[in-house]
Structure 1
Amino acid sequence: MNKLKGSQKDKVKQFVQWTQASERTAMACLAAHNWNLEMACDSYFTNPDQFVPPDERYQRQSIDRKKIEQLFAKYASDPDDGADTNRIGPSGMFRFLTDLHLNATD
């Protein structure tokens, strides 16, 4: 990161903050998008595995997708939000925030 310009370093820091990706991933993604932060973030969230270096992929593979899907289903299946289980509705989101001990108005 030492060879980057000041504005590029700022973009790397912002990218890391927004995506929780590593600096190496941030630099690779930003460089692939001519240092356009918005385009790089959009592309990263669309396909994060495209920019994660091979030696960092093992960390991503340790995520249990089944548990994530179960957590999502828990809040997406709120009867007050209707039958659409492809999204978390207002009631499900309120329960989610309550379970996290967060104030829904914040």
Structure 2
Amino acid sequence: MVDEHLAGLGLRRDVLATAPTFGAACFFVLHTDALALVPAEVAREAARWMPLAVLEIPLDLPGFSSGQAWHVRLDTDPAHRWLRGAMARVAEEVRRDLEN
């Protein structure tokens, strides 16, 4: 979607790498002049712990949804079930905070 928005403005970006997670993207750009496109909440928290500058994206981008995935063998694992539940609760709290 970013590339589509940029193309509409007659611009393009050079993608240096892709990251499996937003946190990894922050580490990829640490101590470089590269940019990482991550949600504002992730950027602000990463900047608390890493020497990163947080810039607002000058594009009107739509939101996104995220989810959880795990191997079927972990479906009934008590610790993994607890972790999935905890992550879901935190995600719901963040969603509510963003709506307010």
Short-chain TM bin: under 0.3
Please say which structure displays the higher CA radius of gyration.
1
Tell me the TM-score normalized by structure 2: 0.27
Structure number having the greater helix percentage: 1
**Larger RCO (alpha carbons 8 Å, 6+ apart):** 2
